[in-house]
Homo-oligomer: A and B are copies of this chain.
Amino acid sequence: MDVMSAIMGRRSVRRFKPLPVEPEKIETLKDALIWAPSAGNLQSRFFYFVYNDEVKKKLAASALGQKSIVEAPVVIVGCADLTVGDYYRERGIDLYCIQDLSCSIENMMLAAHALGLGSVWVGAFDEVAVAEILNLPRHLRPLAMVPAGYPAETPRPPRRMAPEEAIIEIR
């Protein structure tokens, strides 16, 4: 699938078929995560691929009970790596590692769509609870939870701003 078709055709998918994701597709999702840009190429991010039902239930409970997290065959938890602060100080911790992680997640969601998979970015969760569930080391901050799998729904495109609402040109 070409880049712009993926960018414009990707939707947030919250219902999934009870089918596993093939290992080769999982490997492609990993490549998409890893090949995102990052500040100073420090790659200040780390990921957990969760397939275990008990762990998914706990993650869902930490995220206002979102059912998509339990229903999806795999849930990717994206973490910012705060050791970026050793190099970039506060701007690294408060900004760059969030941007690095976000580029990875967006890459992965586009790749998923191109593979016929659906996914959704879940951002509303209790970070402390997730850190406990996954037994995260102290330098990892969980910032995105992405259930992914074969879609069981076809959402319509949400409204987007027109270019003139979101962009100014300076000539």
Contacts and interface: CB of A to CB of B under 8 A. Distances in A.
Interface of A: 1-4, 6-8, 10, 12, 27-28, 30-37, 39, 41, 43, 45-52, 55, 91, 94-96, 98-99, 102-103, 105-107, 109-111, 113-114, 121, 123-124, 134, 143-144, 158-161, 163, 166-171
Copies per complex? 2
A34 B3 contact: no
A2 to B, nearest CB: 6
A49 B169 contact: yes
B114 A167 contact: no
Contact of A33 (B47, B94, B167): B167
Given A98-B99, A166-B46, A2 B4 contact: no
A63 to B, nearest CB: 13
Given A98-B102, A99-B102, A106-B106, A4 B33 contact: no
